[in-house]
Amino acid sequence: MAPGSFYPLISILNYGPHLSFNSAFNSIFTAQFLFVKAIIPVAGAGTKLRPLTYTQPKALIPIAGKTILGVIVDQLLEAGVTEFVFVIGYLGEKIQRYIAKTYPQLKHTFVSQNDRRGTGHAIWLTKEFVNNDEVMIVLGDTVCDYNVKDILVSDVSQIGVRKVDDPRSFGVAELNDKDIVTRMVEKPLIPKSNMAMVGIYYIKETAAMYAALEKNLNNTADENGEYHLTNALQHMVEDGITFHAFRVNNWFDCGKKETLLSTNAILLKQMEDEHPNKEPMSFDTTVIIPPVNIAEGCTIRHCIIGPNVTIGEYTKMESSIVKDSIIGSYAELQQVVLNSSIIGNDAYVRGLSQSLNIGDNTEIDLG
């Protein structure tokens, strides 16, 4: 199967709270993946998802019954990656608690990025923990459909790309007719390619990458004071290192409210298609319109839920209508009608018909 072939993300989403280590090792793990380490930068503040991210890291925002970070970790575990380095910063202690609770057996290291100086700086901080092993870098808000195992057996370094209408907001890869990267540019004003880099990188020449990052950090940062991984990878290209571009089948944007809700809906639909005969959960005098994912411990009465709704654990809902929305854990909703809304953890909402974006620990009473 060629790099970029379809790899159903839904197979990852159906492993429950986290992927079973027995499953990962017994059915998939092979020795050739042993020395590949995953680097996942999750230090960003997620400003475009505020107020949710005032109290919750973006990587822990729920989608389709998991978190963004959970989807990424499970995808890599299923492919045989067993060692992880997480670059944490903003609300990093919540990332640490999440990993400890959800993946108690995971071999991992946390590296702190106290100053937000970009992805290049974040990756450079991991140098002493990688020891020149090959690395799989997945940015902490990158959820894609792609065949991880195909990438891990590649003879050359790989970069995930996706064609976009306006590439000026992304790192851009220029390719030849064999999909070999000839040039990489971060957010070009006049792009020469519409192939955006999605935030997935398989690096075989790790020592060269860290040398390029070191060189990059000795130069002037951009106008925002950041050092981009793209610039270091371009140095590697100039030094003759080969990068092949693989096309992801889907790239799910988790960076803004509207696209996060759209991603949630797509993944819920994939889950439903994978298990068409699965009986929906039943609640007292409540209508469930699939696709819906409701976590354990929820109390729901006199409601209409769905389609495209994710509800976190131990949430209480009564006399409400909710569709196309994400509801956090331990929230409480009474007599509300919500559409295209995101409600954070421990939020309380009563008496409302609106579209909302409400952070954690919020109480609203519009009755």
pLDDT tens-digit readout, 163-185? 988 888 888 999 999 999 999 99
Say whether both 41 and 159 belong to one domain.
Answer: yes
CATH number (domain holding residue 197): 3.90.550.10
What mean pLDDT do residues 15-32 have?
Answer: 44
Token pair in block for residue 79? 């492919």
Say whether both 55 and 204 belong to one domain.
Answer: yes
pTM of the model: 0.81
Say whether both 209 and 323 belong to one domain.
Answer: no
Q: Is it the case that residue 364 has pLDDT exceeding 80?
A: no
Token pair in block for residue 173? 């890869």
pLDDT at 176: 93
Say whether both 150 and 47 belong to one domain.
Answer: yes
Q: What range does the domain containing 32 cover?
A: 10-258
Say whether both 116 and 174 belong to one domain.
Answer: yes
Say whether both 300 and 202 belong to one domain.
Answer: no
What mean pLDDT do residues 99-114 have?
Answer: 90
In a domain, 2, yes or no: no
Interval 255-277: pLDDT, tens? 778 788 988 998 899 888 877 77
Q: Is it the case that residue 240 has pLDDT exceeding 80?
A: yes
In a domain, 270, yes or no: no
pLDDT at 61: 83
pLDDT band at residue 363 using 50, 70 and 90 as cut-offs? low
In a domain, 272, yes or no: no
Radius of gyration of the chain (CA): 21
Say whether both 178 and 249 belong to one domain.
Answer: yes
Q: Is it the case that residue 8 has pLDDT exceeding 50?
A: no
Which residues are bridge partners to 107 per DSSP?
Answer: 83
Domain endpoint, select from 196, 227, 258: 258
Q: Do 187 and 168 form a contact (C-beta atoms < 8 A)? A: yes
What mean pLDDT do residues 199-205 have?
Answer: 94
pLDDT at 366: 60
Measured distance CA(144)–CA(195) in Å, rounded:
15
pLDDT at 345: 87
Measured distance CA(121)–CA(81) in Å, rounded:
23
Residues in the chain: 367
Say whether both 353 and 219 belong to one domain.
Answer: no
Q: Is it the case that residue 25 has pLDDT exceeding 50?
A: no
In a domain, 5, yes or no: no
What mean pLDDT do residues 121-143 have?
Answer: 90
Contacts for 261 with CB less than 8 Å, ≥ 6 apart: 308, 324, 325, 326, 340, 342
Average pLDDT over the chain reads 83
DSSP label at 31? Answer: G
Q: Is it the case that residue 350 has pLDDT exceeding 80?
A: yes
122 or 8: whose pLDDT is higher?
122
Q: Is it the case that residue 121 has pLDDT exceeding 60?
A: yes
- C-alpha 8, offset from chain centre: 15
Instruction: State how many domains the chain has.
Output: 2
39 or 278: whose pLDDT is higher?
39
CATH number (domain holding residue 340): 2.160.10.10
pLDDT at 359: 65
Measured distance CA(367)–CA(353) in Å, rounded:
10
Interval 29-74: pLDDT, tens? 444 445 789 999 988 877 777 777 787 788 888 888 888 899 899 9
Q: Do 87 and 196 form a contact (C-beta atoms < 8 A)? A: no
Rounded to whole angstroms, what are the CA distances from 38 to 79, 145, 249, 264, 281?
11, 17, 21, 25, 36
Token pair in block for residue 137? 């870098």
Say whether both 199 and 291 belong to one domain.
Answer: no
Say whether both 180 and 321 belong to one domain.
Answer: no
Say whether both 85 and 204 belong to one domain.
Answer: yes
Q: Is the dihedral of CA 11, 251, 312, 74 positive or negative?
A: positive
pLDDT at 52: 72
Say whether both 210 and 335 belong to one domain.
Answer: no
Q: What is the signed CA dihedral for 71, 75, 81, 83, rounded to 10 degrees?
A: 0
